[in-house]
Structure 1
């Protein structure tokens, strides 16, 4: 439990996994999830919702979580899976994979949000859990740093799009690049702005054929 919060977990043992995902809103890239079992004998100071932390602090905590946690795991759903089954189900799939990938099997899991993935262990959801439960905060940090690093790497592959800055979110810079340079292999074609861009490009091709 985070300091000062009134959340009380039904489970009171040590093998508690916090689970969170990052990347539901972007137009590009995978959705990444993490599951973390913290060690009560190795507390980590400064855990919070990853979005409320500076990049520098996230990076420091990323290393500390991996070093001190009893167990941690990452899971993901690909761009193709997002397009095939929709972003909600892809997010739940990524969280399921993260939990199932834990080297230490948890006895209970706390899931950020209001929907649980299909997992075999007892669990409950926690709305805004990434700022209320330390283990979920740790999971959000691992997932966000991992995904952000991947988008920075994609920036080198697709330098026109500015992925290092916006991480795939639909900023003005990203939207302008989409319209100017088109859709890449890492864009989610089921998302409206990307879908509309594809439709426009097909229309342009059709007009050129008529000329």
Structure 2
């Protein structure tokens, strides 16, 4: 990014109810979302001049998760918007000679490199958001639906913040589809069902949003890789906090995954409130 005085807004939301296909569901625990949007860079890159047509502009959002497999703790989902020229296929090296030049799929990086990239992604991203979906919600709706819900909410809340600033740039722009297109790239083999009715009320037409599912997308697209770093490191931070609170469980080592040491710790010390009771090893421990 160019050096300029940036106007950054913080995004903080706690979602207690969700509308799924017209039905409101009270969540067992709130889903907390936090992030930020760099308004200066957003406007500089996607609204250079108020009189300029933006029909060819495409804002790319990458979305990924971390923590679907563990028996313990939250699943974290993140969405990230990188600078336009940094967004693209990793193999084309759009990040060459940038502060994020070593960014690839978080699973291919050492923890040290992930920890180094985490603040860099936050600093360099045009915008990002991270969702924390707790174990109680995972047990309530199942891990797949909890992950899809996190992906949906990250996308919608970030788009809401973007739309607030981009839809008012031109007086003759009635909705975001007249100004620009949005690509939302989800890691995995499916896309969540967005609340298009609500997005339309914000000035974002369904026709302006192109949702794409990319298998192993975190190794293919820079924006998904950036989201992968945010989701993975933010989840690790919660695991280290739990390890400090419950040192006997060895959480810093297994990070909630079903290792032999973790299963043994459950047998020796019992099930914690943050364990996912719908997962078989935890359920069996409770039954025994």
Same fold (TM over 0.5): yes
Please state how far the C-alpha of 1:101 moved relative to its aligned partner.
2.6
CA distance in 2, matches of 1:27, 1:173: 12
CA distance in 2, matches of 1:35, 1:64: 15
The reply to whether residue 110 of structure 1 matches residue 218 of structure 2 is no
Q: Which residue of 2 aligns with 1:50?
A: 106
Of stretches 103-112 and 18-27 in structure 1, the one that deviates more from structure 2 is 103-112
Residue 71 of structure 1 is aligned with which of 115, 127, 146? 127
Please state how far the C-alpha of 1:14 moved relative to its aligned partner.
4.2
SS of 2:78's equivalent in the other structure is strand
The reply to whether residue 149 of structure 1 matches residue 193 of structure 2 is no
Give the alignment's TM-score, normalised by structure 2: 0.63
Summarize the alignment of residues 46-195 of structure 1 with structure 2, pairs less than 5 Å apart. 46-102=102-158, 103-105=161-163, 107-119=182-194, 120=196, 121-195=209-283
Please state how far the C-alpha of 1:179 moved relative to its aligned partner.
0.6
Residue 81 of structure 2 is aligned with which of 37, 52, 56? 37
Q: Which residue of 1 aligns with 2:71?
A: 27
Taking only aligned residues, the RMSD between alpha carbons, in angstroms, comes to 1.5
Distance 1:38 1:14, change over 3 A: farther
Gapped regions of structure 1 (runs ≥ 5)? 1-11, 201-211
Please state how far the C-alpha of 1:76 moved relative to its aligned partner.
2.8
Query: Deviations for 1:7-40, whole angstroms, at most 9, x for unmatched residues?
Result: xxxxx84410000011100001011000001003
SS of 1:109's equivalent in the other structure is strand
CA distance in 1, matches of 2:150, 2:250: 25
SS of 1:61's equivalent in the other structure is helix
Please state how far the C-alpha of 1:100 moved relative to its aligned partner.
2.1
Structure showing the higher strand proportion among its residues: 2
CA distance in 1, matches of 2:234, 2:79: 13
Q: Which residue of 2 aligns with 1:18?
A: 62
SS of 1:138's equivalent in the other structure is helix
CA contact 1:14–1:39 (8 Å) conserved in 2: no
Gapped regions of structure 2 (runs ≥ 5)? 1-55, 87-94, 164-180, 197-208
CA distance in 2, matches of 1:184, 1:36: 32
SS of 1:188's equivalent in the other structure is coil
Give the alignment's TM-score, normalised by structure 1: 0.85
CA distance in 2, matches of 1:64, 1:193: 37
**Number of equivalences:** 189
Q: Which residue of 1 aligns with 2:3?
A: none
Of stretches 62-71 and 189-198 in structure 1, the one that deviates more from structure 2 is 62-71
Please state how far the C-alpha of 1:122 moved relative to its aligned partner.
2.5
Query: Deviations for 1:110-157, whole angstroms, at most 9, x for unmatched residues?
Result: 000011112243201000001011100000100000000000000011
